[in-house]
Amino acid sequence: MTDEPRDGSGEAGPDPDPTGTARPADGPPGGDDSGTPHDGSHHDRSRHDRGRYGGDRHDAVHDDAPGAAASRLTGRAVVAEHRLSAALAEVTLDGGQVVMVKRGDAPGAVRAEAAGLAWLAEARAVRVPAVRGHDARRLVIDRVAEGRPDARAALRFGRDLAALHAAGAPAFGAPPPGGLEEAYIGRAPMRNVPGDDWPSWYAAHRVLPYLRRAVDEGVLRPAEAAEIEGVLERLPDLAGPAEPPARLHGDLWNGNVLWGADGRVWLIDPAAHGGHRETDLAMLRLFGCPHLERVLAGYQEAAPLADGWRDRIGLHQLFPLLVHAVLFGRGYAEQALAAARGAPA
């Protein structure tokens, strides 16, 4: 989830798709199997930079420029710097290596992302950019050279994603080692409070906080919220067989999936935590992903999902839809309500 335009210029456009189909806040809806990539490369699609990393503000006087920060954090000289937005820059280091330098304004944002990337990398499954250095305000990661989506990479991505999930987590809601309890999903706060039971944890620490906020801010009516609460009360019966906590990316919409020039899929901008593996898959479907059915086929080959998982997609989409409702308005609230009404009887 995001709110930064791809070229880093101007204001984001988070209004819902007029068709009522869920869509990310910074671009057109994607097709499940279109195979059509969004334009631009990793650095062009600075998806979270305004939410998690602050607004369109120039660096404060006390904050060093991206090139200087990259040099300081990597110990290498900088030969070129290209600013892509107020919070993101592409920097070329001595020797030709290209890195991305992000600025973080929200408390703990850089630490949370660095910890999440390290935790995902530890699983040796889906590829993520290496963290080259970070401090309280700057994160330096490798730039990913992008190619085009293709069916073979999608199948492998599904298998790799299954391996990532299988790496596990200590508990539902557990943050990555070195991560934070008060973390983020895009520009929105996300509390990582550990729990042993997925239905009760998901209701209490993911859905209900944003459901209440949506009512308080007038984007969801009390009677509509009551419908969603009714579904949450039935979650123990709707959630399917109990599963151990999975190691989640946590914000796995299509914008955070990079189809690398190396033929592999790379993931960026995690909101990593322990959760239910179906949540990552439901997020992929929420905003569309090229070759999604091939991704799912690869996943099923490696780690078959429990019967009825397609019927549970809407349950896992409640959290991101309510986050979007609070950030961007009524259209997403209506989609959350539709997801709740589509829950099995």
Q: What is the pLDDT of residues 249-278, one digit of tens each?
A: 999 999 999 999 999 999 999 999 999 999
Beta strands in the chain (DSSP E): 78-83, 88-93, 98-103, 131-134, 138-142, 182-185, 188-191, 246-248, 257-259, 265-267, 273-275
The pLDDT of residue 38 is: 31
SS3 of 183, please? strand
pLDDT over 60 (residue 149): yes
Cα→Cα distances 78→11, 66, 72, Å: 30, 10, 10
Question: How far is the C-alpha of 5 from the C-alpha of 25, rounded, in Å?
Answer: 9
Instruction: Give the pair of three-digit tokens for residue 271.
Output: 């909101």
Active-site option among 49, 251, 269, 280 = 251
pTM (two decimals):
0.84
Instruction: Give the pair of three-digit tokens for residue 120.
Output: 């995902």
Per-position b or e across 114-133, b if 16+ CB within 10 A of its CB:
bbbbbbbbebebbbbbebbb
The pLDDT of residue 293 is: 97
Per-residue pLDDT averaged across 22-35, rounded?
Answer: 35
The pLDDT of residue 63 is: 56
Q: Which residue has the higher pLDDT, 36 or 182?
A: 182
Count the residues in the chain.
Answer: 345
Q: How far separated are the first and last CA of the chain, in Å rounded?
A: 30
Q: Is 216 a catalytic residue?
A: no
Structure-token match 């492998």, residue found: 156
Whole-number percent of the chain with pLDDT over 70: 82
CA neighbor of 305 nearest in space, from 236, 241, 249, 234 = 241
